[in-house]
Structure 1
Amino acid sequence: MANKKEYTNEDIVSLKGEDRVRKRPAVIFGSDGLEGCKHSVFEILSNSIDEARDGHGDKIIVTKYNDDSIEVEDFGRGCPVDYNQREKKYNWELVYCELYAGGKYNNNSGDNYEYSLGLNGLGACATQYSSEFMDVEVFRDGYKYDLHFEKGRNVGGLKKEETKQKKTGTKTHWRPDLEVFTDIKIENEYFEDVLKKQAVVNPNITFILRIQRENNSFEEKTFYYENGIADYVAEIAGEKPLTSVQFFTGDRKGRDREDKDDYKVKLSVAFTFSNQVKCLEYYHNSSFLEHGGSPEDAVKSAFTSQINAYLKSNNKYLKNEKPITFQDIEDCLVLVSSSFSTQTSYANQTKKAITNKFIKECMTEFLKHNLEIYFIENPDEAVKIAEQVLVNKRSREKAEKSRIDLKKKLAGSIDLSNQVQKFVDCRSKDLSQRELYIVEGDSALGSVKMARNAEFQAVIPVRGKILNCLKADYDKIFKNEIITDLIKVIGCGVEVKTGKNKEISMFNLDNLRWNKIVICTDADVDGFHIRTLILTMLYRLVPTLIEKGYVYIAESPLFEITTSDKTYFAYDENEKTKILKMIGNKKFDIQRSKGLGENEAEMMSLTTMDPATRRLIKIEPDDIEQTQWMFDMLLGDDLQGRKDFITNNGVDYLDMADIS
C-alpha cells in the first residue's frame, strides 16, 4: 500500500499581502474572468463617485487606452496619502496596500461618505493588487503626490512636491494583470453602460468617457442627467407613454433587527406606464443591482397590492376572475429606483443585490402610501393603468392556455395512445444513433421502410406539399396536422420568439429524440420544392436544430447507368460524364433515376439509407441573414422580387430543370 502524505501543523498556510487577491481574485471580484476584471474597474470608479456625490467635484473622466489600461480622474479633495499619525503609517499604505482600510467605516467621526458606494474598503487596494501596474497622481493641500505600483507592490515610495496648481483630485491609471484575470479586454460598451447608469443616479455630475482609437486620437462621450432618474424614465418611455412620469422621494430611519443600530435610508423612485416599452432598474448607493434584492421585492409587493386594491374597489374584475400578478404590471411599467443607506447588506462584494430587511419594509410602505395618493389625485391615469394591466393579465392567461394546449399537442409521448399517423419508429433508444427520415409521400414510405435499418432508422411521410411556414402566421401553422405531427415526432418543442405567441415557446434541446433528421425527397422539381418547404418549417420553428447541425438532406441520384455487370449512380451531370468515360466502349443503358417510391429496397439502402454508401448533406447556415434572405426571396410575399431574381439568376439552374 502506498504511503500517504501526513497532514501536519505546517500544512496550514495563509496568503499574505498581494497574494490574497492575486491568487484568489474570484473571492473579491466574484470571478477571475472578464466580469471580475470589470468589477475591479468599478471599484476605482466608485471611490470617485463617492467624492463627487459628497459634494467634492462635479466631473469624472474615464479613459480607456489601446493597451487595455484604464484611467479614472476626479476633481474631489484628493485621496489622503501622507503620513497618518494615529495609524503610524502612510495613508497610501492603508488605502492601496491594506484590505478593509479606508475613510468610510466610522460615520460618527464626521460626515464623510454618509451614503457610500465603496463601503467595504476593498476597492483601491484590491484593484491595485490585481494590476500589472498602477500609477496614482494626487493633488491636495498644495502638493502633488505620485505613487507607482507593479504587480501589487509599491516601487519608489511616495513622491511629493509643492505645486501652484489650485486643482485638487485623484487620477489613477492602471492595467489589469493577465496573471490575475483570464481576460482584460473590456468592451467599450461596458464603459458606456456603466457611466450612463452612474449619470442617471447621480444628477448634476458629468461623466466623460474617452476611448483611444488606433490613430491615438480620442473619441469622447458625455453622460449627464440634470434630474436624474426622472429624466431617464422619460427617455426610456419615449414620446407616447400612457401616463406622466411620477417621482417619489423620501427619507426613513430604522433597523434590520431589534438588537441592531438604526440607520438612515433615502428613497427615490421614478416611473411611468407604457404599452410600448417596459424597463425595471434598481440602484443602491449608485450601484446597479443586477439581481435586485430588497428594492425589487418592495416594488413587486407595493405595486401589486395597490393596483389590485384599485381594481377591486372599482369593480374592474369580472366575476370569479383571478387577481393580477406583478408580471401583468411589469409588462407595461417603466420604473427606476435609486436608494441610499448608511448601512448596506450586499449579497456579496460585487454588490449586485442587497438584503436589508428594513429597506424592503420601509420602501414597501413608502410606495404603497404614494401610489394611493397618486391614484386619488390622478383618476384618469389610474383608469389607464388599470385597463392596461387587465389587458396584460388576460392576454397572459390566454397565451398560457394556448401554451399548455400546444404543449400537450406537440410534446406528447409517441406511444399507442398518442400515435402519429404513419410514423414508423426504430428500436434503439440510444439518442446518439437514432435517425429520423422525413420522406415524400406514402409510396416513398414503403420503399424507405423496407430499405432502412430498423434498429436505428425511423420514418415519417409528408403527405403532399406542406404549408409555407415563412408566409403563414403561427395560429395557421399550429393548426396544420402535418407540421404538428413532425414537431411532435422531433420532440424538442418549438422556438417562437416574436409577437403575441412568444409565451408558447417551449424549446428544449435535451428533449430532441434524434441524432440526425434527414430530409429525403425525389431528385426533381416537386421533390426540391417539398424539401425547401420542410427546411423552411425547421428554420422558422426550430432554427437551433439547423444551427447545431442536426438537419441533413439525403442526396438522391439523378441517373442510373446500367452495364451488363454493374449499375452506376450519378448524382449530377459531371458524375454522369465521368462514369461514361470510365466504362468506355461497354454497352450501357442510361435513364433518369425513378422516384423514391419506385426504387427497389436494395437500391434505396445503397444510395440513400446505408451510412457506408449514402450521401448526406449537412445543412449549415454559415450566414443566417443570407439564409433568411434566400427563404424570403423564394417563399416570401415579394412576388416581383422573386420574378426579378429568377430572371437574373435562373440561367444558372437550367441544368437542374426537368425539361424534355
Structure 2
Amino acid sequence: MAKKQDYGNDSISMLKGADRVRKRPAVIFGSDGLDGCEHSIFEVISNSIDEAREGYGNKIVITHYRNNEIEVEDFGRGCPVDYNNNEKRYNWELVYCELYAGGKYDTAAESYEYSLGLNGLGLCSTQYSSEFMDVEVIRDGFRYNLHFEKGNNVGGLKKEPCKKKQTGTKTRWRPDLEVFTDINVSDEFFCDILKRQAIVNPNILFVFRSENEAGGFNEQEFFYESGITEYVQEIAGEGALSSIQHWTAEKKGRDRDDKPEYKVKLDVALTFSNKTKLTEYYHNSSFLEHGGSPAEAVKRAFQAQIDSYIKSINGYQKNESKITYADVEECLILVSSSFSTQTSYANQTKKAITNKFIREAMTEFLRHQLEVYFIENPDEAQKIAEQVLINKRSRENAEKVRLNVKKKLTGTIDLSNMVEKFVDCRTKDVSRREIYIVEGDSALGSVKLARNAEFQAIIPVRGKILNCLKAEYSKIFKSEIITDLIKVLGCGVEVTTKANKELSNFDINNFRWSKIVICTDADVDGFQIRTLILTMLYRLTPTLIEQGYVYIAESPLFEINTKEKTYFAYTEQEKQRILEIIGDKKHTIQRSKGLGENEPDMMSLTTMNPDTRRLIKVTAEDISESAEIFEMLLGDDLQGRKDYISEYGADYLELADIS
C-alpha cells in the first residue's frame, strides 16, 4: 500500500493564473455544470449592458452558433485594452487576465455608477474558462484584436488604424468542456435572459441570432420601451383588479454606521389580479432568482400595510386571524428593478442581495406609497382588500381539508382504527411485506387460506371502485373503498393540480409494503375492477407505479387436467401449446373459476407462491394506455366508443355474456 505523504510545510500550494478558475469554476460561477456555463456567458453580456445603460450604444447583438460558440457585440465606447500608465501594464492584461481588476471600483467616479459587474471577475473568469476567446475592440481610431486559448494569450495585442466611426466591443468564444461538464446551452436560456434584460433596461434593443441547420440565422428581438410597467401590463392582460402603479425614488444611506454612504434607485411597477400572480426582483439589471433584500421589503411592506387597511375598514370577522404575505402574493403582480452604487451580493452568481439599507429604505418607501395609493383610490383599495381576504379564507379552509384528509388517509392501523376486512401479515420488515388487493369477500376467503401469513396481507375491494380518472378530489375522498386502500398503503396521496395541491401529503418513507399485487378474476368484470384500481393508483400515488411497486397477479384462464398432472393456461395460445404436449392423453378442460371458487392449493400455486406465481410489473406507460381505453369505453366520448366497438367488437364475442 502506498505510504501517505506527510502534511508538512511543503504541502501547501496555491492555484495560479487561469487555474484559479479552470480547476475551481464552481467558486466563481456557482457550478461546474450547465448553469455555471450559462453564468459565465452572462458575465460577458452584462458588461455590454453596463455600457448601454451609461448611454453608449442602444443595441446589443448576441449570436449562438451550432458548435456552441457564442458572440456578443455591443456598440459602446469599446473596452480599453491599450497601455495603462497608472498600472504600468496593458489594460487587456488587467481586464482579461487578472481577477479583481476593472473600471467599476471607484465609487466616486461617475462612470458605471449603477453597474451589473462590480467584482472585476466577469471577463477574466469567462476568458479563463474558455477553449478560446477572440476579442475585437474599435475605439480611439484603432482596431484592436486579442486571441486567447485555454486561459492564455496567444500573439499579444494587435493594433491597426481604423476609420470606422462606430465604436464597440465584439467577443467570440467557446466554453471549455475541460472546465464545464456541459456546454450545450439552449436557445431558451438566451431568450429568457435577454427578455429579462430588455424589461429592466428600457429602450435598449437586444437581438438574438441562433444558427440553424441550413447555416443561416433565426433572429429574435427583445425591446421594452417603458420597461417594467410595460411588462406588468403584459402579464396582467385585461381585467386586472386595479390600475398599474409605477413608483420610483432615490435614497442615500448606509448598511452600518461605520460603512460609507451609497445611493439607491428604486423602481417598482405593480397591479393586483385574481387571475394570475408574479413577483420578480432585479438589481443592477441582474435577475435576483432568490430575491434577498427587495423580496423581504415587499413582504414586510405589503403584509403590514394591507393588514392595517383591512383593520381600518373593519374587514376582519370576529376573532379572525390576520392575513399573511402569502395571501397578498396570491393576487399580486409586481416587478422591482433597483440600482445601487454599492451592492452586497449573496455570492458571485448574483441571485440575491443582502444590503440592509436597501431592505429598510424599500420597506419604508413601499409602505408610504401603498398608504397614499389606498387613500387616493378607495374603490381599488376595497377590491384589493376583499381579494386578499378571499385568498386568506380559501387558504385556511384548504389547510383544514388537507389536515382532515391526511388524518383520514394516514391513520395508524390498530384495533381502534381498523380498516374493515383488512388482513395484515406478521412481519414488520417492509422489504418483505406484500399487500394483495382482491376482488370481493369470496376471493378474500380463498386468498386468505392460500397466502403465506408471514409476509402477505389482504384487503378486499367491495363492489366497483370509483373512476378516479377525472373525478373531483372531494368526491374521491368521500369513497370509503378508496380511503381504506390509501390508509392501508400508508404513504398518503400526491395531488398535482394547482387548485388542490394543499391535499398532497405523499411520503414514500411511510409506504408499508414492498409490493402491491392486484388480484382479480380473469373476466370482463375482473378486468374492469383491475383497471379502476390501477387508475386510482395512477391518479393518487403515481410514484408507486413509477418506482415499480405495483403488480398484477395473472389468473389462469384454463385448468387442464390429466391423470398425472394439472396444467394451467393463462392465454388461449398457452392452452393450445399444452394440448400439443398432452397429445392423445385423456384430459378435461375447464375454464378457470372465479378467485372465490378456487381451492387454496391452486390459489397458492398460481397466484400467491413467489416461486410459481406470475406477476406483471405495471409501468406508467401501461396504466396511461389503460386509462385512455377505460375513459373511451366508460367516459363521455359516445362516438369514440361506437367506433371502437365497430372496429374491435368481434375480438371479444367469446367473452360477451349473450343469452
Please indicate, yes or no, whether the TM-score normalized by the shorter chain is above 0.5.
yes
Determine the structure 2 residue equivalent to 1:359.
Answer: 358
Distance apart, 1:643 and its partner CA? 2.5
> Aligned with 1:642: secondary structure?
helix
- Give the structure 1 partner of residue 327 of structure 2: 328
* Cα distance in structure 1, aligned partners of 2:622 and 2:590: 37
Question: Aligned partners of 2:651 and 2:186: how far apart in 1?
Answer: 44
Pair 1:25 & 2:17 matched: no
In structure 2, relative to structure 1, the CA distance for the partners of 1:521 and 1:370 (3 Å cut) is: same
Could you say which residue in structure 2 is the equivalent of 1:219? 218
Q: Which residue of 2 aligns with 1:199?
A: 198
In 2, the alpha carbon distance for the partners of 1:641 and 1:269 equals 53
What secondary structure sits across from 1:157 in the alignment?
coil
Name the CA shift for 1:31/1:627 in 2 (closer, same or farther; >3 Å): farther
Q: How does 1:278-357 map to 2 (within 5 A)?
A: 278-357=277-356
2-structure distance, mates of 1:142, 1:625: 67
Aligned residues of 1:424 and 1:460 also touching (Cα < 8 A): yes
Query: Cα distance, 1:507 vs. partner?
Result: 1.6
Match of 1:239 in 2: 238
Instruction: Report what 2:374 is aligned to.
Output: 375
- 3-state secondary structure, aligned to 2:353: coil
CA deviations 1:17-59 (Å, max 9, x no partner) are 0000000000000000001001001111111111111111101
Return the alpha-carbon distance in structure 2 between the equivalents of residues 191 and 160 of structure 1.
32
1:158-169, aligned counterparts within 5 Å? 158-169=157-168
Q: Secondary structure at the match of 2:319?
A: coil
Task: Determine the C-alpha separation between the residues in 1 that align with 2:28 and 2:489.
Answer: 46
- C-alpha distance 531-624 of structure 1, shift in aligned 2 (>3 A): closer
Call closer, same or farther: CA 1:624–1:466 in 2, change over 3 Å: closer
The aligned amino acid for 1:347 is A
Tell me, yes or no, if the aligned pair for 1:248 and 1:269 is still in contact at 8 Å. Answer: yes
Shift of 1:626: 4.9
C-alpha change, 1:148 and 1:3, in structure 2 (3 Å) is closer
Residue in 1 that maps onto 2:496: 497
- Equivalent in the alignment of 1:95: 95
User: CA offset at residue 2 of structure 1?
Assistant: 8.7
Q: Does 1:34 align with 2:34?
A: yes
Aligned-partner Cα distance in 1 for 2:219–2:2: 65
The answer (yes or no) to whether the contact 1:468–1:635 under 8 Å persists in 2 is no
Find the counterpart in structure 2 of residue 44 from structure 1: 44
Report deviation, 1:449.
1.4
Q: Cα deviations across residues 89-119 of structure 1 (Å, max 9, x unaligned)?
A: 11011000000000000122x2111011011
Hey, what's the Cα distance between the residues in 1 that align with 2:323 and 2:49? 40
1-side partners of 2:15 and 2:613: how far apart? 62
Task: Tell me if structure 1 keeps the 8 A contact 2:427–2:433.
Answer: yes
| Pair 529,346 (structure 1): closer, same or farther in 2 beyond 3 Å | same
**Amino acid in the other structure paired with 1:228:** G
1:120 and 2:104 matched: no
Query: Larger deviation: 558-567 or 646-655?
Result: 646-655
Gaps of 5+ in 1: none
Counterpart for residue 9 of structure 2: 9
Mapped partners of 1:4, 1:164: distance in 2: 64
Task: Specify whether residues 237 and 628 from structure 1 end up closer, same or farther in structure 2 by C-alpha distance, changes over 3 A only.
Answer: farther
Partner of 1:59: 59
- Between 1:357-366 and 1:603-612, the stretch displaced more is 603-612
Alignment of structure 1 residues 49-198 onto 2, 5 Å: 49-108=49-108, 110-198=109-197
**1:632 matched to which residue of 2?**
631
Aligned equivalent of 1:605: 604
State the Cα distance separating 1:543 from its structure 2 match: 1.8
The sequence identity of aligned pairs, in percent, is 73
Q: Residues of 2 paired with 1:647 and 1:164: CA distance?
A: 79
1:550 counterpart letter in structure 2? Y
- Two-structure CA RMSD over aligned residues (Å): 1.5
Whether contact under 8 Å (2:538, 2:623) holds in the other structure is no
1:59 and 1:652 map into 2 onto residues whose CA distance is 67
Q: Distance in 1 between matches of 2:176 and 2:653?
A: 61
The residue type equivalent to 1:255 in the other structure is R
Point out the more displaced range, 630-639 or 89-98.
630-639
TM-score by length of 2: 0.98
Amino acid at match of 1:62: I
Q: SS at the partner of 1:115?
A: coil
Q: Structure 1: how far apart are the matches of 2:518 and 2:624?
A: 22
Who is 2:395 aligned against? 396
Q: CA deviation at 1:642?
A: 2.1
SS at match of 2:291: coil
Counterpart Cα distance in 2 of 1:581 and 1:620: 34
Shift of 1:499: 5.5
Whole-angstrom CA distance in 1 between matches of 2:623 and 2:126: 41
Contact 1:207 1:222 in 2 (8 A): yes
| Residue correspondence of structure 1 range 403-414 to structure 2 within 5 A | 403-414=402-413
Identify the range of structure 1 (544-553 vs 495-504) with the bigger mean alpha-carbon deviation.
Answer: 495-504
The separation in 1 between residues aligned to 2:5 and 2:83, in whole angstroms, is 48
Matched, 1:537 2:539: no
- Matches for 1:433-472 after TM superposition, within 5 Å: 433-472=432-471
Normalising by structure 1, report the TM-score.
0.98
Contact 1:470 1:635 in 2 (8 A): no
Q: Is the 8 A contact 1:471 1:635 kept in 2?
A: no
CA contact (8 A) 1:561 1:568 kept: yes
Gaps of 5+ in 2: none
> For residue 219 of structure 1, what is the amino acid of its counterpart?
N
Matched residue SS, 1:107: coil
Paired residues of 1:81 and 1:92 also in contact (CA < 8 A): yes
Higher deviation after alignment, 643-652 or 29-38: 643-652
Residues 156 and 655 of structure 1: CA distance in aligned 2, closer, same or farther (over 3 Å): farther
For 2:603 and 2:612, locate their aligned partners in 1 and report how far apart those are by CA, in whole Å.
11
Write out per-residue CA displacement over residues 247-292 of structure 1, whole angstroms, 9 at most, x where no aligned residue.
1110000000011011000001111111111111011111111111
